[in-house]
Structure 1
Amino acid sequence: MNAKTDQPADNPIAGPALLGSGIVLVWNDIDEAGREQFYAWHDKEHIPERLAIPGFRRGRRLRRAGHSPEWLTMYEAADLDVMSSPDYMARLNAPTPATTKTLAYFRNTSRAVCRPVFSVGESTGGYVLAMRIDRAESADATPEAYLRDVAFPQAMASTGVLACHLFASDQASFLDTEESRTRTFDVPAWIVLVEASTEEAAERAREWIDAPQLRDAGLRPRADAAVYTLEICRLGAASRAP
Structure 2
Amino acid sequence: MATLGSAAIAMWWDISPAWRAEFEDWHSHEHFPERMAVPGFLRGSRWTSARGGEGFFVMYELDAYATLMSPGYLNRLNDPTPWSTKLMPQHRNMIRSQCHVLDSVGGALSRYVLTIRLSPRPGSESDLRAYLKSHAQNAAAQPGLSGAHLLMTDTPRIAATAEQTIRGGKDRAADWIYIVNGYAINAVAACDGDILNAAPLRDFGGETAAWSDVYCLSHTYEAAGAA
Q: TM-score normalized by structure 1?
A: 0.83
**What letter is aligned with 1:98?**
W
Tell me what 1:178 maps to. 162
Tell me what 1:187 maps to. 173
Question: Is contact 2:43-2:223 (8 Å) kept?
Answer: yes
Q: Provide the C-alpha distance between the structure 2 equivalents of 1:156 and 1:117, rounded to a whole number of angstroms.
A: 16
Question: Is contact 2:137-2:148 (8 Å) kept?
Answer: no
* Length, aligned pairs only: 221
User: Any idea what SS the aligned residue of 1:194 has?
Assistant: strand
Tell me what 2:218 maps to. 231
Q: 1:148 to 1:217 in 2, by over 3 A?
A: same
After the TM superposition, which parts of structure 1 deviate over 4 Å for at least 4 consecutive aligned residues?
Answer: 65-69
**Which of 68, 73, 82 in structure 2 is aligned with 1:83?**
68
**What letter is aligned with 2:217?**
L
Mark the runs of 5 or more structure 1 residues left unpaired by the alignment.
Answer: 1-14
Q: Provide the C-alpha distance between the structure 1 equivalents of 2:175 and 2:183, rounded to a whole number of angstroms.
A: 27
Offset at residue 106 of structure 1 (A):
1.0
**Which of 106, 112, 119 in structure 2 is aligned with 1:127?**
112
Q: Verify: 1:169 aligned to 2:153, yes or no.
A: yes
Offset at residue 123 of structure 1 (A):
5.9
Q: Verify: 1:222 aligned to 2:207, yes or no.
A: no
User: Any idea what SS the aligned residue of 2:79 has?
Assistant: coil
1:124-176 CA distance string (max 9 Å, x none): 3111111111356xx33222011123x22442342121111000001228752
1:170-198 CA distance string (max 9 Å, x none): 12287521111222531111001101111
Q: 1:207 to 1:153 in 2, by over 3 A?
A: farther
Q: Which moved more, 1:84-93 or 1:195-204?
A: 195-204
Question: Is contact 1:26-1:72 (8 Å) kept?
Answer: yes
Q: Verify: 1:204 aligned to 2:190, yes or no.
A: yes
Q: Provide the C-alpha distance between the structure 2 equivalents of 1:101 and 1:112, rounded to a whole number of angstroms.
A: 23
Q: Verify: 1:160 aligned to 2:144, yes or no.
A: yes
Tell me what 2:124 maps to. 141
Q: Verify: 1:44 aligned to 2:32, yes or no.
A: no
Mark the runs of 5 or more structure 2 residues left unpaired by the alignment.
Answer: none
Tell me what 2:95 maps to. 110
Offset at residue 97 of structure 1 (A):
1.4
Identity of aligned pairs, percent? 34
